[in-house]
């Protein structure tokens, strides 16, 4: 594990694990260098008004890395309570040592396996769950099943939001399968990605959104789409019939299968 200064972001640093960029921490907690993190932040900020109380947000981060997003939301919503579940104990210790992270209860860090910890969640005990867990380049199978989505839905308040960072290949099999599984659990599902990714032209990140409260539509969706186009990597927000058609070929996975979607 290595910490490097970011020459393009004064005061910024990047964490490398096995030589691969893992996390970025800017001097300003509201600055997000990774585009997929910016998409997550925008999706949560578009969802909160009218659905969740920004002064009492309870946000759980499954997979925290250097706690970049937890630090962001602690600054964006100063009265929020952020809990990070991170398997890598060394990374947890170094994040606290290297960076000026908010203290508990604004930001708590819990070492543990994301699925095992999720299975202990009390019903309706959180407002937002953000899954950003990878073993290598893929999300562990236990975190992409209908049963996992159901545990998250149960742990969320009635107006809560589930957000997942899905890393997928051009065939988009995993994203389709995750969305198919999420549609079995959540009443409303959407996704965010750049156009090239959604057209299956490369490997990249797709942000998946699920809730039993309505996701942004109409003017709210228009505002979100406008903001998503403003970044270094413009992205599209897709919901409703688009997601239904996109995920129609996906196969929802279950704990018993323990496998990724077949080709």
Residue 152 tokens read as 């998250």
Domain assignment present for 62? yes
Whether 71 is covered by a domain: the verdict is yes
Which tokens go with 20?
């691969």
How many domains would you assign to the chain? 1
Domain CATH code at residue 227: 3.40.50.150
Q: Is there a domain that residue 260 lies in?
A: no
Predicted confidence (pLDDT) per residue in 121-158, tens digit: 999 999 999 999 988 778 999 999 999 999 999 999 99
- Measured distance CA(134)–CA(152) in Å, rounded: 18
Per-residue confidence band for 65, with pLDDT thresholds at 50, 70 and 90: confident
Compute CA distances 54 → 75, 212, 227, whole Å. Answer: 12, 18, 20
> Domain residues for 87?
33-247
Residue 64 lies in a domain: yes
With a pLDDT cut of 70, the percent of the chain lying above it is 97
Answer whether residue 116 is part of any domain. yes
Sign of CA dihedral 95, 96, 101, 106: positive
Nearest to 157 by CA among 67, 25, 62, 51: 51
What global pTM score does this model have?
A: 0.94
**CA Rg, the chain, in Å?**
17
């Amino acid at each position: 594990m290595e910490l490097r200064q970011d020459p393009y972001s004064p005061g910024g640093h990047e964490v490398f694990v096995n030589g691969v960029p893992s996390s970025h921490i800017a001097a300003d907690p509201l600055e997000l260098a990774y585009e997929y993190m910016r998409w997550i932040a925008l999706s949560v900020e578009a969802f909160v008004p009218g659905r969740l109380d920004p002064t009492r947000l309870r946000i759980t981060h499954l997979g925290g890395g250097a706690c970049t997003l937890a630090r962001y939301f602690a600054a964006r919503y100063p009265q929020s309570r952020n809990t990070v579940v991170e398997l890598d104990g060394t990374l947890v210790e170094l994040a606290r040592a290297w960076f000026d992270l908010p203290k508990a209860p604004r930001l708590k860090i819990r070492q543990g396996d994301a699925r095992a910890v999720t299975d202990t969640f009390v019903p309706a005990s959180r407002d937002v769950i953000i899954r950003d867990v990878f073993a290598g380049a893929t999300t562990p199978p236990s975190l992409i099943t209908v049963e996992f989505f159901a545990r998250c839905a149960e742990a969320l308040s009635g107006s809560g939001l589930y957000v997942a960072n899905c890393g997928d290949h051009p065939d988009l099999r995993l994203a389709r399968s995750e969305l198919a599984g999420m549609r079995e659990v959540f009443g409303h599902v959407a996704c965010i990605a750049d156009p090239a990714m959604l057209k299956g032209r490369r490997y990249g990140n797709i942000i998946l959104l699920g809730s039993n409260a309505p996701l942004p539509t109409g003017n709210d969706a228009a505002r979100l789409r406008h903001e998503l186009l403003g970044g270094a990597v413009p992205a599209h927000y897709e919901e409703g019939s688009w997601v239904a058609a996109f995920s129609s070929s996906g196969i929802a996975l279950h704990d018993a299968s323990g496998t990724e979607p077949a080709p």
